[in-house]
């Protein structure tokens, strides 16, 4: 039944696309593979030449094979390949956004936890704020901010940070609500104030999970920062959009390869670090 519904929706979508293109959608569909063939580089080594800004033997004066002009020179004899530099910009956007989001999420989560705030107005307001922050996708917020702040990494950092605050704030307060309250009861019994109860009764219990969620969010933010780059957020995403738009096959494949290696490396490093900080048992879901 689900397959029938899916096929019906797909057929309706294709008919809508055909109507929106004045009946030319299906006429142009066979040429899709011509576009793919145009994106096959002459030589597989061109991908690595484009990646590391090495001169191409096919250079003809056009930007398509001009890899050396984009070098980021550090000294008179040392340069950083442009795409590696743009990748570092994207990773920095993700890391800064994660730090900002985790910091504010940490500060807000205790005010949103029922076991610490009860059902008061502060809890209600903080939860609604966190819901609003995570309600809109990063790319939508980034598109709005680029119109206000102009294109560049600042808009990307603000957009990713806002969503990260909302997402981590929710995860954090749920962890706090599941904390063992015996330590909190003991602190209240000896006259501890609210800050002391949080500092000594709750934080030591929840901190490992907070770190784990923050590292997981950092992985997500690397991907989000790449996508936001395509709408003017800077970094490797913007370079990817330009290379596709200009029909630069080798440059496009170089960026795809860099992104693939980076995402795998970030995922593996994050998993290793979480195992070291939280413990292997956190990954043994089936045990």
In percent, the amount of the chain with pLDDT more than 70 equals 89
| Integer Cα distance of 215 and 168 in angstroms | 11
| Integer Cα distance of 169 and 112 in angstroms | 8
Contact between residue 133 and residue 70 where contact means Cβ atoms under 8 Å apart: no
> What pLDDT does residue 72 have?
81
| Integer Cα distance of 237 and 226 in angstroms | 5
> What pLDDT does residue 133 have?
93
- Helices (H) and strands (E) in the chain — how many of each? 14, 2
Secondary structure element (H or E) that encloses residue 81, with its range: none
pLDDT digits (tens, 9 = 90+) for 255-270: 888 989 998 998 888 8
Q: Alpha-carbon Rg of the chain, whole angstroms?
A: 25
What average pLDDT is seen over the chain?
83
| Integer Cα distance of 268 and 275 in angstroms | 11
Domain ranges of the chain: 89-282
The token duo for 128 is 């609604």
The residues, ordered by sequence, that sit 6+ positions from 139 with a Cβ below 8 Å of its Cβ are 159, 224, 227, 228, 231
Contact between residue 247 and residue 64 where contact means Cβ atoms under 8 Å apart: yes
pLDDT digits (tens, 9 = 90+) for 91-129: 999 999 999 999 999 999 999 998 888 778 988 999 999
SS3 of residue 259 by DSSP: helix
Question: Span 89-282: which CATH code?
Answer: 1.10.3720.10
SS3 of residue 80 by DSSP: strand
């Amino acid at each position: 039944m689900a397959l029938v519904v899916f096929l019906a929706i797909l057929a309706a979508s294709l008919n809508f696309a055909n109507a929106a293109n004045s009946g030319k959608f299906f006429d142009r569909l066979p040429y899709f593979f011509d576009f793919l063939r145009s994106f096959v580089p002459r030589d597989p080594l061109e991908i690595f030449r484009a990646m590391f800004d090495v001169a191409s033997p096919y250079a003809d004066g056009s930007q398509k094979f001009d890899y050396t002009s984009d070098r980021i020179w550090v000294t008179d004899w040392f340069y950083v390949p442009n795409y590696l530099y743009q990748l570092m910009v994207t990773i920095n956007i993700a890391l800064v956004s994660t730090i900002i989001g985790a910091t504010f999420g940490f500060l807000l989560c205790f005010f949103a936890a029922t076991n610490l705030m009860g059902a008061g107005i502060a809890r209600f307001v903080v939860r609604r704020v966190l819901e609003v922050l995570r309600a809109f996708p990063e790319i939508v917020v980034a598109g709005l901010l680029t119109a206000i702040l102009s294109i560049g990494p600042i808009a990307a950092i603000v957009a990713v940070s806002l969503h990260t605050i909302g997402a981590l704030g929710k995860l954090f307060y749920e962890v706090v609500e599941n904390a063992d309250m015996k330590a909190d009861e003991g602190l209240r019994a000896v006259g501890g104030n609210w800050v002391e109860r949080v500092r000594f009764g709750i934080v030591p219990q929840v901190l490992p999970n907070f770190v784990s969620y923050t590292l997981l969010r950092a992985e997500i933010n690397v991907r989000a920062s790449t996508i936001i780059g395509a709408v003017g957020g800077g970094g490797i995403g913007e370079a990817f959009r330009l290379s596709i738009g200009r029909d630069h096959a080798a440059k496009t494949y170089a960026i795809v390869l860099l992104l693939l290696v980076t995402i795998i490396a970030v995922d593996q490093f994050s998993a290793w670090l979480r195992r070291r900080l939280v413990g292997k048992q956190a990954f043994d879901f089936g045990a």
